A and B are shown apart, each in its own frame.
Chain A
């Protein structure tokens, strides 16, 4: 009997020592270590301290990846990669028609450029630029956290509300003030949900989810999916600047983005027909803030934020090339066929552009001062 209690005591002692010795390392942002099962990388956005948000449309989830690429530099690497699609295809052992670059994002701390790709068979790949080299970012045994965007049908049934909009595609991601912002589209309903999810993620799934509406000339109200968005401060107030798939560019005060609300954006411009907004961001030049917007079938537009601030109305005229509207001047920049945009710092953008000779080039605007002149 004595022996048994000795053995038990020993076991208890060993397990206590083990428990303290192998205590799980506390990871930042509530992350766990492992290999995330990411099915697609539709959208990228950087959060705090080198955290990269990866929007996975296929699993309707957002993954937060600790890139550990968090050293700060104010130096902007000058980027000029001619034929980046060919370079990527060669590295991956395939042809250019078998890969697509879905998004680019610049780490605001290290200024490194990250690219998400998709192979023809759907395999997602994350790459980053290291100097002149493009390198794959391994997702094996990394620190990550994730959040699911769709409730399971069972969860929806519990509160008797019926199914919430099932996101089948993440159209854009952003991070602002401790919140991950996600705009999602459905492949069944022409609606949009816009979600604001506190980061670090919590188990509480009750994200602020709201329905976005648009009223043309204040008369016909329709639901309006958001294609791309950015956040900006206008007259000391935080705004979401969003572009709808049906072309209007609208403003929402961030304070209005509350769960379950039916909200309408104030139209500041319509981008005209046959065009899709692709990317939108804000940059500064000589103390002036500009909104820059890439389009599928138009040149890149820029507009001075001061004009938006001074304009309090609702615009319903189309934006033409170098078209000066009553309130907001949209100036087309000498940039066409821009597929992706992000900013490297307040004054420099990185651009993925299909050049007129057919080459897909990634380049930074550090030597292109004329763009914002």
Chain B
């Protein structure tokens, strides 16, 4: 039923796009006014030369009202360019007024085609078992998304399908990657950190041995104003607290053979942080030069493989791991997320890197 409704919605929208596209093309050709596009955004109107560009006014038509919008008018010789402060909004209509008379009305078309509808590409951690002190969740999207609204769309249900309040940290501005395609969501650290008031009042956000469902609602808009067409869910079960730092000494290495491009593989035997895994590894050869190649994260972020660009030569190598690598509970190679100051056990010396030597044999 749901997919049928979505299909209907898509067809309806396609007809909508096409009809308006035709109308706007028609108007544009009549008036020779065109929309200037950059990165899929309507950034300006290009207008054939007019005698008195200072008398040009662009208005937004909305709810039957017309309001003048601000922008820059530039005389480009045989063309006049009107650039609004922010790109024109898709789906909205604007009219061009010259000396008090309307010369054109243009609707900015919604993005066309099914491919431009944003999707969720992945949710990390990808495995369905997480520790009760899970610290963060990453959500990857197919397109840059609108910021500042995440918690209107993300919720966590318990096994009774009831929404659990106050699980996520309401942080503004939100934490997005540079391309606005990956969002970091913190589970409320005030509730995870032991002995803080939120922890004492409400307890940790997740409880051991409980099942949960993460829901990401449809409608969350991307930068072009198109919403997620469906909702996404991820089920997981919670296990005990993770209070142990990842220890590279316990990792299993699978070394490659020389004169091949076979992978060098590291198995962590636990899930580590997806985003950090992408950045913290490096292999150096005997001359301490970085070996170029590609890292690929394995199933459930429990392993990583390195494929060199050139064949492995036989000899000694060194794997360098930045100590900031974390597990799912925010424990990094140097220290735990929470350090118990009463635990007087001798602390290891903090280092920026951990090194693991290995050799490639013929």
A93 in contact with B193 given A190-B136, A190-B330 (CB within 8 Å):
no
Among B13-21, B28-36, B174-182, B257-265, the stretch in contact with A: B174-182
Partner of A187, one of B198, B201, B275: B275
Task: Decide if B119 is an interface residue (CB 8 Å cutoff).
Answer: no
269-291 of chain A: CB within 8 A of chain B: 270, 272-274, 276, 278
Closest approach, in angstroms, between the C-beta of B23 and any C-beta of chain A?
19
Task: Decide if B246 is an interface residue (CB 8 Å cutoff).
Answer: no
B273 and A57 contact, CB distance less than 8 A? no
Task: Decide if A78 is an interface residue (CB 8 Å cutoff).
Answer: no
**Residues of B at under 8 Å CB distance from A?**
41, 58, 60, 62, 67, 69-71, 84-89, 92, 94, 135-136, 144, 146-148, 165-166, 169-178, 180, 182, 184, 186, 188-191, 193-198, 201-202, 221, 223-225, 273, 275-276, 279, 322-324, 326, 330, 332, 337-342, 352-353
A220 in contact with B184 given A93-B94, A246-B189 (CB within 8 Å):
no
A163 and B189 contact, CB distance less than 8 A? no
Sampled A-B contacts (17; CB under 8 Å): A90-B69, A93-B67, A93-B71, A93-B89, A94-B60, A122-B147, A162-B323, A162-B324, A187-B177, A216-B193, A216-B194, A216-B196, A221-B338, A245-B186, A246-B193, A272-B197, A274-B198
A161 and B173 contact, CB distance less than 8 A? no
* Cβ–Cβ < 8 Å partners of B330 in chain A: 189-190
Report Cα–Cα, A334/B279, bound state, in Å.
Answer: 48
Report Cα–Cα, A118/B172, bound state, in Å.
Answer: 13
A120 and B69 contact, CB distance less than 8 A? no
B221 and A218 contact, CB distance less than 8 A? no
* CB 8 Å contact bits of A179-207 with B (1 = contact, 0 = none): 00000011111100000000000000000
* Cβ–Cβ < 8 Å partners of B322 in chain A: 162-163
Report Cα–Cα, A221/B41, bound state, in Å.
Answer: 47
Task: Decide if A125 is an interface residue (CB 8 Å cutoff).
Answer: yes
Report Cα–Cα, A122/B178, bound state, in Å.
Answer: 11
B67 and A95 contact, CB distance less than 8 A? no
B337 and A190 contact, CB distance less than 8 A? yes
B191 and A273 contact, CB distance less than 8 A? yes
Q: Which residue of A lies closest to B186 (CB)?
A: A190
Partner of B92, one of A93, A185, A272: A93
Report Cα–Cα, A62/B85, bound state, in Å.
Answer: 22
Number of A-B contacts (CB under 8 A): 185
B324 and A163 contact, CB distance less than 8 A? yes
Task: Decide if A248 is an interface residue (CB 8 Å cutoff).
Answer: yes
B189 and A219 contact, CB distance less than 8 A? no
Task: Decide if A318 is an interface residue (CB 8 Å cutoff).
Answer: yes
B147 and A100 contact, CB distance less than 8 A? yes
* Cβ–Cβ < 8 Å partners of A317 in chain B: 197
Task: Decide if A169 is an interface residue (CB 8 Å cutoff).
Answer: yes
Report Cα–Cα, A335/B308, bound state, in Å.
Answer: 60
A93 and B196 contact, CB distance less than 8 A? no
B352 and A94 contact, CB distance less than 8 A? no
Interface of A is mostly: loop
Interface of B is mostly: loop
Task: Decide if A91 is an interface residue (CB 8 Å cutoff).
Answer: yes
Report Cα–Cα, A273/B176, bound state, in Å.
Answer: 24
Task: Decide if A123 is an interface residue (CB 8 Å cutoff).
Answer: yes
85-111 of chain A: CB within 8 A of chain B: 90-95, 98-100, 102
Task: Decide if A160 is an interface residue (CB 8 Å cutoff).
Answer: yes
**Residues of A at under 8 Å CB distance from B?**
42, 57-58, 90-95, 98-100, 102, 118-123, 125, 136, 160-163, 165, 168-169, 185-190, 214-222, 227, 245-248, 270, 272-274, 276, 278, 296-297, 316-318
A93 in contact with B60 given A188-B275, A245-B171 (CB within 8 Å):
yes
* Cβ–Cβ < 8 Å partners of A136 in chain B: 70, 85
* Cβ–Cβ < 8 Å partners of B197 in chain A: 247, 270, 272-273, 316-318
Report Cα–Cα, A167/B229, bound state, in Å.
Answer: 32
Closest approach, in angstroms, between the C-beta of A271 and any C-beta of chain B?
8
B324 and A245 contact, CB distance less than 8 A? no
A272 and B62 contact, CB distance less than 8 A? no
Closest approach, in angstroms, between the C-beta of A276 and any C-beta of chain B?
5
Partner of A118, one of B147, B166, B224: B147
A119 and B86 contact, CB distance less than 8 A? yes
Report Cα–Cα, A168/B179, bound state, in Å.
Answer: 11
A222 and B198 contact, CB distance less than 8 A? no
Q: Which residue of A lies closest to B332 (CB)?
A: A189
A272 and B198 contact, CB distance less than 8 A? yes
* Cβ–Cβ < 8 Å partners of B174 in chain A: 169
Report Cα–Cα, A276/B151, bound state, in Å.
Answer: 13
A94 and B89 contact, CB distance less than 8 A? yes
A247 in contact with B86 given A168-B176, A216-B195 (CB within 8 Å):
no
* Cβ–Cβ < 8 Å partners of B136 in chain A: 190
Report Cα–Cα, A214/B197, bound state, in Å.
Answer: 13
* Cβ–Cβ < 8 Å partners of B339 in chain A: 220-222
Q: Which residue of B lies closest to A126 (CB)?
A: B85
B223 and A222 contact, CB distance less than 8 A? no
A160 and B352 contact, CB distance less than 8 A? yes
Report Cα–Cα, A58/B177, bound state, in Å.
Answer: 8
B60 and A220 contact, CB distance less than 8 A? no
A169 and B175 contact, CB distance less than 8 A? yes
Q: Which residue of A lies closest to B190 (CB)?
A: A246
* Cβ–Cβ < 8 Å partners of A214 in chain B: 193
Closest approach, in angstroms, between the C-beta of B167 and any C-beta of chain A?
10
Report Cα–Cα, A151/B108, bound state, in Å.
Answer: 41
Q: Which residue of B lies closest to A213 (CB)?
A: B339
